[in-house]
Amino acid sequence: MNSQGSPFVTRRLFTAAALSMAAALPFATALPAQAGEALAAAPAGPELIMVEQAGCEWCKRWNDEIGPIYPKTREGEFAPLRRVDLRAIPDDVTVQRRVSFTPTFLIVQDGHEMARLEGYPGEDFFWPLIAKLMSKHLGFLPEGA
């Protein structure tokens, strides 16, 4: 017989180790899930949150005029767009006051509302207003600044 013992002893040791690991498994798996949830609940960096709802005519207009190009702009790269439903604002966003109108654009930093633009004033007014709010509250440098 070699110094590592018989196959019977090796099998018993393996079984004991597996049972020990299985007993600890519920506790070990609970921690990463909770940690993952905590990370998901705290978005990092700036974002533009568009609060919308089905049937919103001004939301549709924004989607047609701005939606396709927003991610390609300096503003869109600086503060990526996240869309949320008016009746389902996620728990990871802390708003300053209740959102009542759609569309409402929330200027958010690390999950906290810093400012908002209520309504869609049209393409000609949207860009300068959003740039001004991002500049004032998030340190965004508009083009030409």
Secondary structure (3-state) at 115: strand
Give pLDDT, residue 43.
Answer: 58
Residues 34 and 55 in one domain: no
Residues 90 and 22 in one domain: no
Judge contact between 106 and 49, C-beta under 8 A.
Answer: yes
Residues 97 and 130 in one domain: yes
More confident call, 57 vs 2 = 57
Domain for residue 64, yes or no? yes
Domain total in the chain:
2
Q: Is residue 3 exposed (0-12), middle (13-18) or buried (19+ Cβ within 10 Å)?
A: exposed
Domain extent for 63: 46-138
Residues 28 and 86 in one domain: no
Residues 58 and 123 in one domain: yes
Tell me the two tokens of residue 66. 């701005």
Residues 90 and 126 in one domain: yes
Model confidence over 48-79: pLDDT tens digits? 999 999 999 999 999 999 999 999 999 999 99
Whether the model clears a pTM of 0.85, i.e. scores above it, the answer is: no
Residues 35 and 57 in one domain: no
Domain for residue 21, yes or no? yes
Domain for residue 143, yes or no? no
Residues 32 and 63 in one domain: no
CATH code of residue 70: 3.40.30.10
**How much is the average pLDDT of 17-40?**
36
Residues 81 and 110 in one domain: yes
CA distance 45 to 51: 18
Model confidence over 89-135: pLDDT tens digits? 999 999 999 999 999 999 999 999 999 999 999 999 999 999 999 99
Residues 1 and 34 in one domain: yes
Secondary structure (3-state) at 37: helix
Q: Which residues contact 49 (CB under 8 A, 6 or more apart)?
A: 81, 82, 83, 84, 93, 105, 106, 108
How far apart, in Å, are the Cα atoms of 24 and each of 13, 18, 21, 33, 34? 17, 10, 5, 15, 16
Phi, psi of 77 (to 5 degrees): -75, -35
